[in-house]
């Protein structure tokens, strides 16, 4: 197993063409070690979501490559990338995206069905994932009966129930107050410490910077190298 799980080499993403072309990110080189927790920070429009979507193989770079576990993922076909995501990746978003009429357990189980995982394992995996995020005791509750922080923990359980090695989260605490945001980040920290998961999240939240292993700052689409004083 390679120590570096995720790597971007000379990545550039341009949206649109001609006069309408927008260079969202460029000159991106990064290596993320297995079992680390990384924050991508930068002001709105600095390219955080664009970079995260490229690392998730949801989108493809205009130039450069993205590697996962030493293998190129950015050049794969749409279908191959989708298979790669179902196997290796969990995704968490700012808006939790839970189905209000389903219980917490049903939401997680539904995620497993979409991921196409073995139905015989669904119950065990859904319950285990809910336990990892500290929500097993609330699994019969529906999202509207839970706080924002609890709903985000259910969304995390759904994202990790198929046991991906990589979790990517786009502003996972943006909708939460700072106390609930911290709870969610502690869940992430536990997943890294106890399960060896690798987590990359985008954030504005200064409190989070102290809990992660590394902060990567984006400025106008490029990695800002902080000057050593």
Binding site for ligand ADP (CB under 6 A): 15-16, 22, 24, 42, 44-50
Binder of residue 162, out of Mg ion, ligand ADP, none (CB less than 5 to 8 A by kind): none
Would you say 65 or 94 has its CB closer to ligand ADP?
94
Closest-approach residue to Mg ion (CB)? 49
Contact indicator for 8, 168 with CB cutoff of 8 Å: no
Stretch that binds Mg ion, among 1-9, 26-34, 35-43, 45-53 (CB under 5 A): 45-53
Contact indicator for 8, 28 with CB cutoff of 8 Å: yes
- Element (DSSP H or E) covering residue 6: strand 4-15
Stretch that binds Mg ion, among 3-11, 42-50, 177-185, 218-226 (CB under 5 A): 42-50
Would you say 48 or 153 has its CB closer to ligand ADP?
48
Would you say 13 or 48 has its CB closer to Mg ion?
48
Contact indicator for 87, 165 with CB cutoff of 8 Å: no
- Per DSSP, helices labelled H in the chain are 48-55, 78-88, 104-115, 122-132, 148-160, 178-195, 206-209
Would you say 48 or 122 has its CB closer to Mg ion?
48
Binder of residue 149, out of Mg ion, ligand ADP, none (CB less than 5 to 8 A by kind): none
Reported as half-sphere exposure (CB side, CA atoms, 13 A), residue 40 has a value of 29
Would you say 22 or 195 has its CB closer to ligand ADP?
22
Smallest Cα–Cα separation from 30: which of 22, 18, 19, 38? 38
Asked whether position 49 contacts Mg ion by CB under 5 A, the answer is yes
Q: DSSP of 35-48, one letter per residue?
A: T-EEEEE--TTSSH
Asked whether position 173 contacts Mg ion by CB under 5 A, the answer is no
Binder of residue 194, out of ligand ADP, Mg ion, none (CB less than 5 to 8 A by kind): none
End-to-end CA distance of the chain: 36
68-71 long-range Cβ contacts below 8 angstroms, 24+ apart: 68/5, 68/6, 68/7, 68/166, 69/1, 69/2, 69/5, 69/165, 70/2, 70/4
Asked whether position 203 contacts Mg ion by CB under 5 A, the answer is no
Stretch that binds Mg ion, among 43-51, 103-111, 186-194, 220-228 (CB under 5 A): 43-51
Would you say 49 or 107 has its CB closer to Mg ion?
49
Point out which residues bind Mg ion (CB under 5 A): 48-49
């Amino acid at each position: 197993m390679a120590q570096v799980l995720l790597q971007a080499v000379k990545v550039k993403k341009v949206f649109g063409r001609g006069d309408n072309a927008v260079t969202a990110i460029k000159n991106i080189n990064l290596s993320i070690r297995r079992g680390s927790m990384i924050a991508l920070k930068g002001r709105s429009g600095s390219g955080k979501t664009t970079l995260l979507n490229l690392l998730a193989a949801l989108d493809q770079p205009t130039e450069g490559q993205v590697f996962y576990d030493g293998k190129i993922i950015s050049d794969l076909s749409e279908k191959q990338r989708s298979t790669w995501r179902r196997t290796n990746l969990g995704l968490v978003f700012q808006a939790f995206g839970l189905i209000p009429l389903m219980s917490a357990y049903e939401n997680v189980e539904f995620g497993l069905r979409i991921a196409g995982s073995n139905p015989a394992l669904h119950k065990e995996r859904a319950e285990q994932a809910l336990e990892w995020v500290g929500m097993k005791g609330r699994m019969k509750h529906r999202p509207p009966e839970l706080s924002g922080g609890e709903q985000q923990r259910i969304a995390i359980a759904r994202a990790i129930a198929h046991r991906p090695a990589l979790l990517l989260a786009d502003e996972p605490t943006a909708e939460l107050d700072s106390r609930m945001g911290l709870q969610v980040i502690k869940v992430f920290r536990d997943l890294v410490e106890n399960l060896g998961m690798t987590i990359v999240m985008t954030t504005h939240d200064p409190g989070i910077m102290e809990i992660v292993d590394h902060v990567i700052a984006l400025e106008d689409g490029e990695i800002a190298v902080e000057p050593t004083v």
